[in-house]
Amino acid sequence: MSDADDAVDRELTMSRAMVESIAHEMRANEEVFYMGEDVADYGGIFDSTQGLLDEFGRDRIMDVPISETAYLGAAVGAAQEGMRPIAELMFVDFFGVAMDQIYNQLAKNTYMSGGNVNVPLVLTAAVGGTYNDAAQHSQTLYGTFAHVPGLKVVVPSTAYDAKGLMHNAIRDDDPVMYLFHKRLMGIGWMPAPDGPKTPVPETDYTIPFGSADVKREGADVTVVTLGLHVHRALDAAESLAAGGIDAEVIDLRTLVPLDTETILESVRKTGRLVVVDEDYRSFGVTGEIIASVADGDLDALDAVERVAVPDVPIPYARPMENEVIPDATDIEASVREVVSGE
């Protein structure tokens, strides 16, 4: 292992970083196992388990029937026995066939038992669009899960974060929903933007939940976002910088717990808030962030904009999908609006 004090220059894709932390935890703890559809021989449709079958075998990298309620529920049961399952929902969009296990058992058993039972389960799922997979395979559903009390919700945007957050997730004694964006994984057949591939230490390390990361400092406007849109916001910030607007970009990294402090601090500095999200606009992430700021320090807030998927299912055809999923230009436009609008 490399010394953490040495400069780290090994770069990994986000999927390699995730897999590395899973493998590390599986070596360290026999109670960790992974279950999901096509996670064994295939290595995960989105490379989430690439190579793990070879090292750990079928008992610990388990293919399961297309019965999400049964296998997610089985993971809940195994976790309550003290094992530490990682269960994958291939696309987050499939949550509806197993939402009761997620919502009424996984998320609530700890509370309903007065803390006598805990469920150390990591539920992973692929999220996001941008490749024309239409309404049933392109959602992020960030708001849907963050609204559920009892689940910690993690959304990494870089390889470095993905690894540290995964270590933290597996070691956490509570249920963690770990949502990885397909477009960021670095899958051969779905080219990632440049940002998510980062230097990643070989050693294990943990990133605390509830610590948003200022991915770019800026003085004029606060852009709060997560997942893929961290990179789109950074792109927008570059263009805006050329035009003299200095945007701060905050990567939430976890939705639950939510790091309101870092956001408030930034808004107190900039006075302007743009929230960017790949989930549906209404009753979701953008509303929560804006309300938290309004509730926390209304006086600090001079202007606000929401950039999210308008309230329509994700359309298939390219011109329409491009229209509804915010891109850097959309973010730029909204930033210009809050900056000029006063």
Partner 1 sequence: MVSLGRMRELYADMVTARHYEERLQEEYLEGKQPAFDISAGPIPGELHLAAGQEAAAVGVCHHLRADDTVTAPHRPHHVAIAKGVDLKRMTAEIFGRKTGLGKGKGGHMHLFDPDVNFACSGIIAEGCPPAAGAALAAKKRNEDSVAVAFLGEGAIDQGAFLESLNFASVHDLPVVFVVEDNDWAISMPKERVTDVENGSDRAAGFDMPGFRVDRDDALAVYEAAGEAIGRARDQNGPTLLEVQVHRRMGHFMGDPQTYRPDDDEEAALARDSIDRLESTLRDHGLGDDDLSAIRGDAEERVEEAIAWAKEQPQPAPEDAYDDVFVNPPSGVTTEEPDFDLAGGDDR
Ligand X SMILES: Cc1ncc(C[n+]2csc(CCOP(=O)(O)OP(=O)(O)O)c2C)c(N)n1
Amino acid found at 205: Y
Q: How far is the CB of 244 from partner 1 (least distance, A)?
A: 21
How many other β-carbons are positioned within 10 Å of the β-carbon of residue 2? 12
Which two tokens mark 175? 């249920």
- Is 97 near ligand X (CB under 6 A)? yes
- Report the distance separating Cα 341 and Cα 330, nearest Å: 16
Which position among 21, 101, 168, 222 is part of the footprint of a second copy (CB under 8 A)? 101
Task: Kindly state the DSSP code that residue 226 receives in the 8-state scheme.
Answer: -
C-alpha 285 chain-centroid distance: 12
Which position among 51, 77, 193, 287 is part of the footprint of partner 1 (CB under 8 A)? 77
Which position among 195, 227, 284, 326 is part of the footprint of partner 1 (CB under 8 A)? 195
How many chain residues bind ligand X (CB under 6 A)?
A: 6
- Is 1 near partner 1 (CB under 8 A)? no
Torsion angle in degrees (nearest 10) through CA of 140, 144, 145, 149: 170
* Contact mark string toward partner 1, 274..313, x via CB under 8 A: ------------------------------------xxxx
CA distances from 147 to 123, 255, 284 (A): 16, 9, 8
Which position among 4, 10, 111, 208 is part of the footprint of a second copy (CB under 8 A)? 111
Which position among 17, 40, 61, 90 is part of the footprint of ligand X (CB under 6 A)? 90
- Is 15 near partner 1 (CB under 8 A)? no
Q: Which SS3 state, helix, strand or coil, does residue 173 take?
A: coil
Q: Find tokens 């057949």 and name the residue.
A: 189
- Report the distance separating Cα 92 and Cα 110, nearest Å: 23
Q: Who contacts 36 (Cβ-Cβ below 8 Å, separation ≥6)?
A: 44, 48, 49, 62, 63, 64, 71, 87, 88, 89, 90, 124
- Considering only the stretches 51-59, 175-183, 189-197, 254-262, report the one whose residues sit in contact with a second copy under the rule CB under 8 A: 254-262
Residues 122-181 close enough to bind partner 1 by CB under 8 A: 130-137, 149-150, 152, 158, 160, 164, 168-169, 171-174, 176
Residues 9-38 close enough to bind ligand X by CB under 6 A: 37
Q: Are 38 and 50 in contact (CB under 8 A)?
A: no
Beta carbon nearer to partner 1, 145 or 301: 145
C-alpha 109 chain-centroid distance: 24
Residues 145-184 close enough to bind a second copy by CB under 8 A: 146-150
- Is 256 near a second copy (CB under 8 A)? yes
Q: Are 139 and 129 in contact (CB under 8 A)?
A: yes
Which two tokens mark 60? 């610990």
Residues 119-158 close enough to bind ligand X by CB under 6 A: none
Beta carbon nearer to ligand X, 97 or 112: 97
- Is 333 near a second copy (CB under 8 A)? no
- Binding footprint of a second copy on the chain (CB under 8 A): 69, 93-104, 107-108, 111-112, 134-136, 143-144, 146-150, 255-256, 258, 279-280, 282-288, 290-292, 294-295, 298, 301-306, 311-313, 315
